[in-house]
Structure 1
Amino acid sequence: MWLHLAVLVGLFCLLRWFRERQVVSHLRDKFVFITGCDSGFGSLLAWQLDLRGLRVLAGCLTEQGAEQLRSQTSDRLQTVILDVTKTESIAAATEWVKERVGARGLWGLVTNAGILPPATPNEWLTKDDFSKILNVNLISLIEVTLSLLPLIRRTRGRVVNVSSPAGRVSLFGGGYCISKYGVEAFSDSLRRELSHFGIRAVLIVPGKYKTSIFPDNTQDVLEGIWRRVSAGVKESYGQKYFEDYCQYFHGLTAKGKGSLSPVTSCMEQGLTAVYPRIRYSIDWDSKCFTFALSYLPTSEADFILCHML
């Protein structure tokens, strides 16, 4: 029995390996638009795709980030300044993309732009704190996607969204986990809707990696939020709770992996494989810990997470 099961598992893995190694044709004629290319995953992915010969259109927040990326890539890569929180900037970038792709359409869209802080107990935050994160991580992702879908429909191409293990299990307060839950829901509905047009929607779920989403001044950010919390809330939580939370949050975000290539390689495969996966869970953070927590009874998952702090 066990031998038969092992053979079946082996055949399944071999079939999946074979399917995922099949690459779409004419990559050098395909345009891909990426948001958040100033640094991190976006910058490395733009470099990888350019090296492979694709026509990369990179959205950068700053001119400095755009210049740095251009200096590291070929003349094929083009950049545009894009603030994903502003509708007029998204509209201008969409027109810019249309001019460059013309009748060929857009093969791929990677909505990579995102932020994390502030991330504290919800009661320490304001509506604006939530809105800031939701606007970048979720609302702008939706707006950029809807703006460019007509161009992707022409090519029957790809939409690649970036989620997080926090999109399954809320590990801390603030807008980040909420936004990633939203990305998961939007990606699910998008995948089902776009299958009618032959478009594949792919979800990337990285674990902890050293990118600018985890700023070096996290402790300063937390202390700044604690200072503005009302006296009544401070008294309720107490100084020790604040210090324990800082230690807990530092443990969640510290020791991130330095090499970003496992993530960008999955993004690249999502764009170039004939049969990409629906979901790429990159490492054990997303494959095991949060995945297991998401399937535990809620009371048991709550017990584990509450005793981490």
Structure 2
Amino acid sequence: MFSGVMRSDGVQLHIVFSRLHHGPDMPVIATPDLANEDVNGFTLSGVDPGRRAVVTVSYGRGNDPHGIRSMSSKEYRTASREIHEQHHLEHRKSLPLPLAPGPPLPYHTMAEIETNTPMAATADPLTIRESIHHKLLCSESALAFYDISHARSRFELRKGQQRAIAMTANYITTGSKKYNRSCRVKRHTRRNRKQRKRKAQRRRQVRQSRLKAEYDDIVQCIERLSAARDQQAYHMDQLLRVSLDDPMSLQPRSRSVTQRQAFAVSLNEALDMFVSGHDHATTTLTTEIEELEEQKQAIQRQYLTSSGQR
């Protein structure tokens, strides 16, 4: 003899056939059927799943106060590390997609692909065709995204679910503590906090030493550039003082006035070109010094920020 079941979600139709089991019916055990030693070894409990609690168990009977044990949804998710894996997956979806063969896609992240995927749970053939076309178009990127690293993440999530179920069952049945030393996260212990603090201090000292070395190098560069700018300005002033006070006197008096005037004109033209080059060099040196001053101030802020972290 067979039994048939038809199930439909509005889009698909499933027909399930199963063969009925032949044989005696399973015995129904009631409380009077148990012996006294069996009853004494067990305690009646009522299980009540709720919205905020995965399960709530009440132990005891009669009018006396009953012991209640419950496992909240937050505790269950913490034990299974479900939220951690979800945050990790959402972060991966927000990153740029890896390179995949095929034509370039108008989407840059996996989150954009999943957001723009048409809904497949519909009876409209056009919408179903668009959904299939979109999935085939983005199949290479999806396969490159959900690679072996995603399989590891799903495996860790599965282990977390098994761990949370075992932890809940152990707490409900035995009444042991939800959190003990073996279940405690290692980064929360006092000894590891001290070790982390010492490591952070060593990293801070290394970072401050590096910033101090960079600061000293920038200060030396600024001093060298300032000295070069001042020296160039000094020589320029000396040259202008000698040549512009009386350029006619630089020529011997045996030459004619016309020759000395022509020499003075040529000297002034050469000085104009030299002054233009001097101004350009001075501007370049000043710009470089200003950029180094900004870098020095940024390093000072980084040093003060790292010194203020404890």
- TM more than 0.5: no
The structure whose RCO (Cα within 8 Å, separation 6+) is larger is: 1
The alignment's TM-score, normalised by the length of structure 2, stands at 0.22
The alignment's TM-score, normalised by the length of structure 1, stands at 0.22
Kindly name which structure, 1 or 2, has the bigger radius of gyration based on alpha carbons: 2
